[in-house]
């Protein structure tokens, strides 16, 4: 795929590695190869955090990184990210890693990071979101993380263009979110699909999810709830809600 993009003269080049051990990645490659890669996708790869760090250090101009289902991953994997100073879009998904205070400190060290997807991991102890991360982050995905309640540490990150909490076990929303006080721009868009929220909460959220409030929501609507407006069938959506890109 990389070489196809290279032949086509594309400037934004992406490298995809799947089902390989990172230590087997070729040690010697043309200098332009490493310089021109802007997006790196590692899927079902394997290797110690030190080997991943060596690999990442070879691509200092990468702005987007996806690590999905890395085999036998440990939290030390996050330390390898320091080798990508230009990183602004990060996905570390489906590895069962504990996302804790130490890991957030690592993310805060990425000065250009604006989008973070940690789906398919688990939340550990987080005392306070680092100020640098809170200042820079625009989008955060925490789907499929077995969240039983609203993650209170996310409050300091708001407003966000998107906070995706879908596919969890959240049964209630805190009052400060439900009250959805009036506010001018920017609006935080919050996705809550596939959470067992009670009907009372859904109705309250629906009534207040408009452009005059702080939050817009996207969530499932029960089949037996008759919609009396033009909302999307089967879901509560809002024109301010951003679309997820590739």
- The pLDDT of residue 22 is 96
Contact predicate 23/49, CB 8 Å: no
- The pLDDT of residue 2 is 52
Euclidean distance between CA atoms 104 and 100, whole angstroms: 6
Within 10 angstroms of residue 33's Cβ, the number of other Cβ atoms is 16
- The pLDDT of residue 10 is 58
- The pLDDT of residue 55 is 96
Contact predicate 49/79, CB 8 Å: yes
- The pLDDT of residue 241 is 44
Within 10 angstroms of residue 81's Cβ, the number of other Cβ atoms is 22
Closest of 122, 160, 172, 124 to residue 144, by C-alpha: 122
Please state the pTM of the whole predicted model.
Answer: 0.87
- The pLDDT of residue 8 is 54
Residues 6+ positions from 122 with CB-CB distance below 8 Å = 96, 97, 98, 99, 145, 146
- The pLDDT of residue 94 is 98
- The pLDDT of residue 74 is 93
- The pLDDT of residue 230 is 46
- The pLDDT of residue 11 is 61
Q: Which residues of the chain, if any, have pLDDT below 70? A: 1-12, 181-186, 209-212, 224-246
């Amino acid at each position: 795929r990389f070489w196809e993009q290279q032949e086509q003269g594309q400037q934004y080049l992406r490298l995809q590695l799947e089902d390989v051990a990172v230590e087997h990645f070729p040690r010697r490659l043309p200098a332009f190869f490493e310089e021109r890669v802007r997006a790196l996708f590692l899927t079902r790869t394997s290797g110690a955090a030190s080997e991943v760090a060596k690999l990442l250090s070879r691509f200092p101009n990468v702005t987007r990184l996806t690590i999905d289902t890395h085999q036998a991953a440990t939290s030390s994997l996050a330390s390898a990210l320091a080798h990508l100073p230009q990183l602004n879009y990060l996905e570390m998904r489906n590895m069962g890693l504990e996302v804790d205070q130490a890991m957030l400190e690592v993310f805060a060290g990425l000065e250009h990071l604006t989008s973070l997807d940690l789906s398919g991991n688990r939340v550990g102890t987080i005392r306070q979101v680092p100020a640098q991360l809170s200042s820079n982050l625009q989008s955060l995905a925490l789907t499929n993380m077995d969240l039983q309640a609203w993650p209170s540490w996310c409050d300091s990150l708001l407003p966000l263009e998107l906070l995706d909490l879908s596919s969890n076990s959240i049964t209630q929303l805190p009052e400060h979110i439900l009250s959805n006080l009036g506010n001018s721009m920017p609006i935080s868009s919050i996705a809550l699909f596939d959470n067992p929220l009670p009907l009372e909460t859904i109705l309250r959220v629906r009534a207040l999810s408009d452009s005059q409030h702080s939050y817009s929501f996207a969530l499932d609507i029960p089949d037996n709830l008759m919609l009396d407006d033009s909302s999307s069938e089967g879901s509560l959506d809002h024109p301010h809600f951003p679309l997820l890109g590739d």
